Structure 1
Amino acid sequence: MVFAAPNEALARAEHVLESDPSPWCASVAHQVIGIWQRDWGDMKVALHHLRRARDLAARAGSADREADVLAALGVALVHAGRTREGLKELERGVAVSGGHTRARVLYRRAYASWVLGHHRAALDDVRRSIPVLRQADDVIWTARALTLRATVHLALGTVDRADADFTAAEALWDTTGQEHDKADAVESRGLAAFRSGDIPVALRLLDEAGERYAKLGTPTFMLNIRRCEVLMAAGLAPEALAEADAAIGVLDGIGGQSTRKAELLLAAARAARLAGDPHTAIARADMAVRLFAGQRRTWWETHARLVLIEARVAAGRGSGRLVADTAAVAERLASFGSPAAPEASLLAGRIALGLGWTADAERHLTAAARSRHSGPPLARMTGWAAQALWARAAGSGRGVLEACRRGLDVLDDHRMTLGASELRARATAQGAELAALAQQASLDSGGPRRLLVWSERWRATVLSAPPTRPPADPALLSGLTAFREIAARAEAARMEGRPVPTLERDQRRLEREIRSRTLHIRGEAPGGGDRFDPARLLARLGDDDVRLVELAVVDGRVHVLLCGQGRVRRFEAGLLAAAETEAEHVQAGLRRLAHPGAEARLPVVEAAGRRLEELLLGPAAAQLGSGPVVVVPPGRLHRVPWALLPSLRERVFSVSPSASSWLRARETSPPPGGRQVLVRGPGLATGGAEVPELAERYGGSTVLEHEDARVPRVLAELDGSALAHIAAHGTFRADSPLFSSLRMADGPLIVHDFERLDRSPYRIILSCCDTARFASVGADELLGLVTALLPLGTAGVVACSAPVNDAAVVPLMLALHKGLSAGLSLAEGLRDARAALPGDATHQATGWAFSAFGAA
């Protein structure tokens, strides 16, 4: 019962002990309590009960009873970090048992070997146990043994064998009432999905297992460890670190298993390193190494040593001793058959290259490169990264580019299995090194067109295909409705000055549920989409007399790729870090200018604009010609108010995440009918004063305001419209950008809502603050309102990147729509609208804060 209804089994066992049982029955009861405490409670209490069960079994004179308890006690001692003592008890259990009982003891010894990382020994024991368990028609223990064998196969990288065993085990579990075991089987299938590269399915299954465990009231730290592993692979390292640290706190609080604490520390160390916190990674990994060593878990200790070395290298430490240490770790991992061996060889080769040890680097990189043709996507990418590094060391630019191309193709295929735009964006971080190597090789070759191709190869890839929409998911739709209601109630309470801790807690819970369901969505099509063709871009630019300015960052410096007149020219500008700092200063200045009385700041902001131009465009600013300009900045420059740059201030210009997305937007046709939708949300300082005037301008437009401006109605009208103007409070969520929102009558309209549109408006104007703010994630990706719209059929967006004065927005918007009514594009209309504003500082700053995105 303890793995069918754990808490009921615990209560029954305690009741047995209250009734003066025989030694045999008392032994069973103490064993049940010991197993419960071992897996979900205090290890000291568990060991006390299991030793008592062992002594009572001896008094009962039952060899099978004693062997069964010895096996449970042995596993507990291993989990407590007392490995030698635990293995000794398991050996005694094997020695005193026979037949069916001995098969169960062998299963437990195999489990202990798996915990210790002795995978070959685990396979030997579990293979010996399965035929006996099957012959005895012991369904539950056969299913457990098959699940364990599958898990060991996964640790050794043999996914196909694991799948076969998981399938067989699941068929057996369906015939039993072992609810905890069933939850464990779901968890194991999640691990198998992850090992085969299917992150959305892995997340879904692990979440399902967590729900099952929660119903049983049995926390499982193995689930936390596996979730951390999947979250890291999905690019969500900070979340993995938070989950691992929280689980360690819970485990310490109950006096739980020492083995699981060490594994959680290892997960936390990996997550901290990936999250860019090497010092936390060093501290966690060092503790993990010490615990694993004390537990005599060499397999685990070696993996922890690899993470410790990686963190030390990330912290800026590199030496010949580290090369030797990393090589030794790689050799030991290879002897274990660990899939992490290529990663260690790549690290050894990278350190050796940094020291100029080319012979050692070649040896280690060659070993790592062997993984490029087989295994899961990230292992193959490791192999291609090693191949690219060695090609660069050997002076083969062509070899670098070929290896980078092959590696990024692997990542493209993997990325497109992800349905959620957030996961697609974050996954790109795993290709950042390959992209950087390719750009450097392109720059070294001296060809600006080649640098453009590689800049595009890894720019805004999340926009290359729309996210997979789940319109038929009732749980997601009801979650969005509940979230909106709670958020609206919380906002109303805040405005009344009432505390809202319960509502905020409910809102965070619903956010987690919505995000979880979106992360479960699988991508619909493999492949990375159409390849960028510079000739096609140049032809389109020539037809429209447009210059496109793509800013590529190589080794920290901005390189301006000026495209137009049938050619690509390269200019060197300033340092990216300096430009980012200047952009933050400009943002602060614009915030000040949004309030009357800050006129003295205007010259300061204008001077900052001139410095920004020098850093970002350099000599290219004088070569832009007289026609329209498209600016394609890297993700880290998304806060730049481009209209403030002197060379763009009086020019028609637009901003695009990539040249490819500009081409796509330029070739997007407007929908038939020319329907206009005007939306006015609640609580605006001006009341959305431009909307009534625009309604008169567009006679047949749909106007949604007051109670009509509710999210379901707004979405229905926006879908497939030609022009949408939304005057509503914008809120940017840096912590969770896809919950950035526009306030409607019934609550927030969030990015997840926009992603459910069949086709977003052809043109959309967002007239309030913070609507063009983004979170920069992955390699060079942006998440926010604008980037949610562009892949869904929107050809052009006008949005604002800074706080603005609400009253000054009204004349800007009216002037913009006047231009649109005369047949101008968004960029042309915005240029003329800025020129029509009064010359005071507040109106000037308002005009600079808005940009046109896309090509409509």
Structure 2
Amino acid sequence: MVFAAPMEALARAERVLETGPPPLHASVAHQVIGIWQRDFGDLRIALGHLRRARDLAARAESAEREADVLATLGVALVHAGRTRQGLTAFERGVARGTGHTRARVLYRRAYVWWVLGRHREALEDVRRAISVLRQADDVIWTARALTLRATVHLALGAVDRADADFTAAERLWETTGQEHDKADAVESRGLAAFRSGDIPAALRLLDEAEERYAKLGTPTFMLDIRRCEVLMAAGLAPEALAGADAAIARLDGIGGQSTRKAELLLAAARAARSAGDPHTAIARAAVAVRLFAAQRRSWWETHARLVLIEARVASGRGSGRLVADAARVAERLASFGSPAAPEASLLAGRIALGLGWTADAERHLALAARSRHAGPPLARMTGWAAQALRARAAGSGRGVLEACRRGLDVLDDHRMTLGASELRARATAQGAELAALAQQASLARGGPRRLLEWSERWRATVLSAPPTRPPADPALLSGLTAFREIAARAEAARVEGRPVPALEREQRRLEREIRARTHHMRGDASGDGRRFDAARLLERLGDTTLVELAVLDGRVQVLLCGQGRVRRFEGGALAQALTEAEHVQAGLRRLAHPGAEARLPLVEAAGRRLEELLFGGVARRLGGGPVVIVPPGALHRVPWALLPALRERVLSVSPSAGSWLRARETEAPPGGRHVFVRGPGLATGGAEVPEAAGRHDAATVLEHDDARVPRVLRELDGAALAHLAAHGTFRADSPMFSSLRMADGPLIVHDFERLDRSPYRIVLSSCDTARLASVGADELLGLVTALLPLGTAGVVASSAPVNDAAVVPLMLALHKGLDAGLSLAEALRDARAAVPDDAVHQATGWAFAAFGAA
């Protein structure tokens, strides 16, 4: 019962002890309390009850009862870090038990072998146990043993064998009432899905298991560890680190298992390393190494040492000793049969290369490269990264490019199994090294067109295919509605000066729920879609010049595309450009308010310096036609129209050359519907909307109560032109919740992704609507990038705060140009020239940009 209804089992055991039972019955009751405390409570209390249960079993002169209690005590001792005492208890338990009881003892010893990382011993004990348990028709313990064997197979990378055992165990669990065991089985299936590369299914199953545990009121420390691993693979390392640290605090608070604490510390170290925080990774991994060593858990200790070495290298250290340490770790992991062995060999090879030890590097990298043809996607990625480094060390540029291509193909296929745009974008970080190696090889071989192709290969890939549309999930739809209502109530409370902490907590809870449900979506697009074609781009450019900015080794490389060719020029240091871009942004924020006119010359001077850093002499080679700027993610907030060489031009911005080409080839929808929306709370009340809407026949105007999210989405779907005058809020912490304020609350990125087709052209006339979060390798998340894959060919939006009053004449001039048949970029260029010639209006014009190609 303790694994079917834990709280009820605990209560019954305590009632038995209150009756003064005979030793045999008292032994059972103390054992039940010990199991509950061991798995769900204080381990010190558990050991006391289990020792009492052992002594009572001896008094009852029941060898079978004593053997069973010794097995339970052995598990508790090992979890407490007293490995030698625990194994001694198992030796006595195996000796005392017979038949069916002995099989249960062997199962629990197999579990302990798994905890210790001794997988061969675990498989031998569980094999012997399963045979007897099946003969005895013991459904519950057979299912447990099959689940354990599957988990051991997963640790050894044998996914197919694990899947077969999980399937067999699940059939048995369905015939029982063991609710905790059933939850554990769901959790284990989540781990299996992750090992097979299905991250959405893994997240869904782990969430389901957590719900089941919550109903039983039991802790979830093993699930926390597994979720950390999945979150890291999904590119959500900061969340994984926060989850691991929170679980450690909870475990310490209840005096929980020492073994679980060590595993959580290892998970936290891995997450910190992936999140780019090597110092935290070193601290967590060092403690984990000490705990695993004290617990005599060599398999785990070796994995923790791998993370410790990786973190030390990431912190800037590199030495011959670290090469030797990484090589020893690789050898030990290989002897354990761990799938992490190639990762350690890659690390040793990478450090050796940094030291110029090419022979040593080749030996280690060759070992790592063996993993490139088999296993889950990330393991194959490790192999292809090793192969690319081998080729570079051998001076084979062609070999580097081939390895990078094959590795990125693996990651591309994996990325497209993810349905959520956020996960697709973040997953690209795992290909950043391969993309950089390929760009460096292209640069060394001297081919600008090839460098362009590789710059495009892993840039803004989230825009290459429409996101998976969220399912018609009632829970998701009700969650979005509830989120809007709570967010609107919180905003109203802030305006009225009322306290909002409770509303903010509920809003965060709903955000987590919505985000989790979107993460469960599996991708429905193929990863082998149409690749970027430089020749087609050059053909479609005509008299337009496209300037793509790539970053290699911290310096800007300018790729000038037009007139049938691609030319390369060197720009300045990216770090300096970022500093100037921040100065420009700060100046624009000040100029949005009257009275800051004196800062205008400073902003213009910063713009000139920024142009020199980014373009150098290229500014004189732009020709006389339109210009398209393709910046790296780090520079997406640059107000490009402020740069002197671009100020008078027809200018548009695109996240990638490929996305500009797709926008250029997107056809306008039939019907030509025009939709204008006015949200609440604008200083001008969206004063441009009535006059701008009057320029278009039969335009739909949504305002006041009509400007509610469901109605707005219906009207936007498939429109030719949409103008949204609504407060914009950018969420750097969670870009998919960046929003426009409607009458009933925020219209968020997740809402836009429900459209069958977003409007062909969109004008977003409020502040910060073009702000994006740079994630992954070179991906951008936000309102603009949500719209481009859904059928939008062009967007006008602002990357900085703007003056509401100054927006009105700019927008009216923009619509005048659109009414005359101009493109968004042409109309915006003319609108900037038409507004009053003062600092506030100039700054407002510079803050807006045309994205795409419409």
Q: How does 1:514-533 map to 2 (within 5 A)?
A: 514-533=514-533
Deviation for aligned residue 1:699: 3.0
2:77 corresponding residue in structure 1: 77
The partner residue of 1:629 within 621, 627, 630 is 627
1:744 corresponding residue in structure 2: 742
SS in 2 for 1:647: helix
Deviation for aligned residue 1:528: 4.0
CA distance in 2 between counterparts of 1:408 and 1:471 reads 29
Match of 2:414, as an amino acid?
A: H
Which stretch shows the higher mean deviation, 129-138 or 522-531?
Answer: 522-531
Please list every run of 5 or more consecutive structure 2 residues that lacks an aligned counterpart in the other structure.
none
Q: Is the 8 A contact 1:449 1:534 kept in 2?
A: yes
The partner residue of 2:566 within 546, 568, 575 is 568
Which stretch shows the higher mean deviation, 143-152 or 466-475?
Answer: 466-475
Deviation for aligned residue 1:470: 1.9
Match of 1:710, as an amino acid?
A: R
Matched, 1:708 2:706: yes
Q: How does 1:163-174 map to 2 (within 5 A)?
A: 163-174=163-174
The partner residue of 2:788 within 787, 790, 815 is 790
Q: Is the 8 A contact 2:770 2:798 kept in 1?
A: yes
Deviation for aligned residue 1:759: 0.2
1:780 corresponding residue in structure 2: 778
Q: How does 1:557-596 map to 2 (within 5 A)?
A: 557-596=555-594
Deviation for aligned residue 1:474: 1.0
Deviations 1:495-542 (A, max 9, x none): 000001111111000000000000000001332421111110111112
Deviation for aligned residue 1:803: 0.3
CA distance in 1 between counterparts of 2:779 and 2:693 reads 36
Match of 2:206, as an amino acid?
A: L
1:227 corresponding residue in structure 2: 227
CA distance in 1 between counterparts of 2:71 and 2:220 reads 21
Aligned residues: 854
CA distance in 2 between counterparts of 1:526 and 1:318 reads 40
Please report the RMSD computed on the Cα atoms of aligned residues, expressed in angstroms.
0.5
Match of 1:42, as an amino acid?
A: D
1:316 corresponding residue in structure 2: 316
SS in 2 for 1:748: strand
Deviations 1:53-102 (A, max 9, x none): 00001111111110110000000000000000001001110010000000
CA distance in 2 between counterparts of 1:613 and 1:357 reads 41
1:40 corresponding residue in structure 2: 40
1:489 corresponding residue in structure 2: 489
CA distance in 1 between counterparts of 2:501 and 2:528 reads 44
Deviation for aligned residue 1:347: 0.3
Which stretch shows the higher mean deviation, 466-475 or 182-191?
Answer: 466-475
Deviation for aligned residue 1:473: 1.1
Match of 1:198, as an amino acid?
A: D
2:359 corresponding residue in structure 1: 359
Deviation for aligned residue 1:471: 3.8
1:835 corresponding residue in structure 2: 833
Deviations 1:691-731 (A, max 9, x none): 11122212301100000000000000000000000000000
SS in 2 for 1:439: helix
CA distance in 1 between counterparts of 2:196 and 2:616 reads 47
CA distance in 2 between counterparts of 1:367 and 1:726 reads 57
Match of 2:698, as an amino acid?
A: G
Match of 2:819, as an amino acid?
A: S
Deviations 1:290-335 (A, max 9, x none): 0000000000000000000000000011100110010000000000
CA distance in 2 between counterparts of 1:763 and 1:503 reads 36
1:684 corresponding residue in structure 2: 682
CA distance in 1 between counterparts of 2:610 and 2:48 reads 69
1:251 corresponding residue in structure 2: 251
CA distance in 1 between counterparts of 2:22 and 2:796 reads 80
CA distance in 2 between counterparts of 1:247 and 1:387 reads 38
Q: How does 1:196-235 map to 2 (within 5 A)?
A: 196-235=196-235
Deviations 1:262-304 (A, max 9, x none): 0000000000011111000000000000000000000000000
Q: Is the 8 A contact 2:327 2:344 kept in 1?
A: yes
Aligned residues: percent identity?
87
CA distance in 1 between counterparts of 2:447 and 2:470 reads 44
CA distance in 2 between counterparts of 1:189 and 1:471 reads 23
2:326 corresponding residue in structure 1: 326
CA distance in 1 between counterparts of 2:352 and 2:364 reads 9
Q: Is the 8 A contact 2:470 2:753 kept in 1?
A: no
Matched, 1:110 2:110: yes
2:721 corresponding residue in structure 1: 723
Deviations 1:399-421 (A, max 9, x none): 00000000000000000000000
SS in 2 for 1:682: coil
1:263 corresponding residue in structure 2: 263
Please list every run of 5 or more consecutive structure 1 residues that lacks an aligned counterpart in the other structure.
none
Match of 2:705, as an amino acid?
A: E
CA distance in 2 between counterparts of 1:763 and 1:631 reads 19
CA distance in 2 between counterparts of 1:695 and 1:328 reads 71
Q: Which runs of 4+ in 1 moved over 3 A?
A: none
Deviation for aligned residue 1:131: 1.2
1:340 corresponding residue in structure 2: 340
Match of 2:399, as an amino acid?
A: G
Matched, 1:373 2:373: yes
CA distance in 1 between counterparts of 2:71 and 2:151 reads 20
CA distance in 1 between counterparts of 2:55 and 2:476 reads 54
CA distance in 1 between counterparts of 2:615 and 2:850 reads 19
Deviation for aligned residue 1:646: 0.5
Q: Is the 8 A contact 2:465 2:525 kept in 1?
A: no
Matched, 1:756 2:747: no
Q: How does 1:362-441 map to 2 (within 5 A)?
A: 362-441=362-441
Match of 1:310, as an amino acid?
A: E
Match of 1:363, as an amino acid?
A: R
Deviations 1:457-511 (A, max 9, x none): 0110011111101241111111000000000001001100000111111100000
CA distance in 1 between counterparts of 2:49 and 2:257 reads 15
Q: Is the 8 A contact 2:34 2:46 kept in 1?
A: yes
Deviation for aligned residue 1:619: 1.1
Match of 2:72, as an amino acid?
A: A
1:133 corresponding residue in structure 2: 133
SS in 2 for 1:532: coil
Deviation for aligned residue 1:661: 0.5
CA distance in 1 between counterparts of 2:92 and 2:808 reads 84
CA distance in 1 between counterparts of 2:528 and 2:245 reads 36
Matched, 1:445 2:445: yes
Q: Is the 8 A contact 1:416 1:528 kept in 2?
A: no
CA distance in 2 between counterparts of 1:490 and 1:570 reads 51
2:502 corresponding residue in structure 1: 502
CA distance in 1 between counterparts of 2:840 and 2:645 reads 21
CA distance in 2 between counterparts of 1:312 and 1:233 reads 21
Match of 2:588, as an amino acid?
A: L
Deviations 1:31-53 (A, max 9, x none): 00000000011010000000000
Deviation for aligned residue 1:133: 0.4
2:278 corresponding residue in structure 1: 278
CA distance in 2 between counterparts of 1:510 and 1:839 reads 46
CA distance in 1 between counterparts of 2:340 and 2:579 reads 39
CA distance in 1 between counterparts of 2:220 and 2:97 reads 30
Q: Is the 8 A contact 1:593 1:599 kept in 2?
A: yes
2:64 corresponding residue in structure 1: 64
SS in 2 for 1:677: strand
SS in 2 for 1:772: coil
CA distance in 2 between counterparts of 1:11 and 1:528 reads 58
C-alpha distance 520-471 of structure 1, shift in aligned 2 (>3 A)? closer
Deviations 1:746-782 (A, max 9, x none): 0000000000100000000000001000110000000
SS in 2 for 1:596: coil
Q: How does 1:466-481 map to 2 (within 5 A)?
A: 466-481=466-481
SS in 1 for 2:426: helix
Q: Is the 8 A contact 2:116 2:297 kept in 1?
A: yes
Deviations 1:598-642 (A, max 9, x none): 000000000011011111111111100000011100011011000
